[in-house]
Amino acid sequence: MTSGRLVPYACSGGDHTASLTKRARPQDIPVRAFPTLGRQTAILGFGVHVPERVLGNAELERMVDTSDEWIVERTGIRERHLAEPGTASFELAVRAGREALDAAGVEPEAIDLVMVASSSPDAPFPPMACRVQECLGLVNAWAFDVLAACTGLLYELAIADAMIASGRARTALVIGAEVLSRILDWSDRSTCVLLGDAAGALVVGPARRGAGIRSWCLGADGRQWDLLVYGDHAHKGAYAVRDPDPHFKMNGRETYLFAVDNFARQALAVTEAAGLTVADVDLFVPHQANRRIIESAARRAGIAMDRVVINIDRYGNTSTATIPLALRDAAAEGRLHPGDRVLLASFGAGLTWAACLLDWE
């Protein structure tokens, strides 16, 4: 399914800085979805790791000019978890990955592919996935990282699905791991209240009971690259200009407008690609970016809030880790059952987005 019209854009030559000819309206950005083919892939188990330290809104009130009421009204967040200073993202990934393997009943030697997505990677190289491979003993796995901001985990899941469906892998471990607290400007009240640290992992393999992923929606629009950035020189990149102290920055209003429209259209497109409608969705598990975004998108798509998972109040936005965290909490609350039709959806910097519809194993 395709909706919207692609608006041309260009990138200038000499200094290779982006030059926007026209910022596309959210409704003009194409959203494409397609049914899965080949062997059905299912989520066999999941694991999470959340640091012990909790930073509540009351403590933030003493750090910056903000209030619990202001934060909750605009974001839905009441607290977030922070890793200890010096903690590596891959260390959180290892803990979540080990829990996911145990939950799935899968031995480390059975993993053919391991991927780690992160908005806060520890370094350009070596890949964090290789550190995870070493620590977990995934001796038969090939390993790489995915850099697609908050969409990274679902991009990984799409890759794993394609590899398993085509027979190039049988079992994969996909992980999102974040120490976002180290990229925040703790004097900026508009951003420091938003993010938290955590990791989440999924073990993915051939469906065992006829369930599995039924359809995908995948996309990106580089014209919107400047809405969510890292550092003051994002047109070149923090590494290129040797920014000594870059921080997360965002255009909140434009991001909100894009996210609400994109979430809703992904939901409609991915269910249609599976031959269903949003009325057939038992549980909507969106990326936990902002409670107002989730509620507005659900209303626009026609999904009742009692079918939506929201846990941003307890963790904040943990980027690539939000969906595994939400699945864990939904399962703990008795909201996930075999055969349930589950919609996963995310968006992130780039801008990037992904959604899939699956029958829960």
Pairing between strand 41-49 and 53-56? unpaired
**Which residue in 130, 287, 290, 356 is the catalytic one?**
287
**Catalytic-role residue among 49, 130, 150, 217:** 150
Give 359: exposed, middle or buried? Use CB within 10 Å, 0-12, 13-18, 19+. Answer: buried
Token pair for residue 222? 């580089």
Active-site annotation holder among 49, 81, 317, 356: 317
Q: What is the β-pairing status of strands 283-286 and 341-348? A: parallel
214 Rama class: left (phi>0) / alpha (psi -120 to 50) / beta: alpha
Annotated active-site residue 150? The verdict is yes
Sign of CA dihedral 322, 328, 334, 336: positive
Active site residue 49: no
- First CA to last CA across the chain, in angstroms? 26
According to DSSP, the residues that pair with 352 across neighbouring strands are 220, 348
C-alpha of 167 from chain center: 26
The answer to whether residues 258 and 224 touch, using CB atoms and an 8 Å cutoff, is yes
C-alpha distances out from residue 86 to 92, 238, 242, 317, 328, Å? 12, 20, 21, 20, 27
DSSP 91-157: HHHHHHHHHHHHHHT--GGG--EEEEE-SS-S-SSS-HHHHHHHHHT-TT-EEEEE--GGGHHHHHH
Tell me, yes or no, if 140 is annotated catalytic. Answer: no
Catalytically active residues are 150, 287, 317
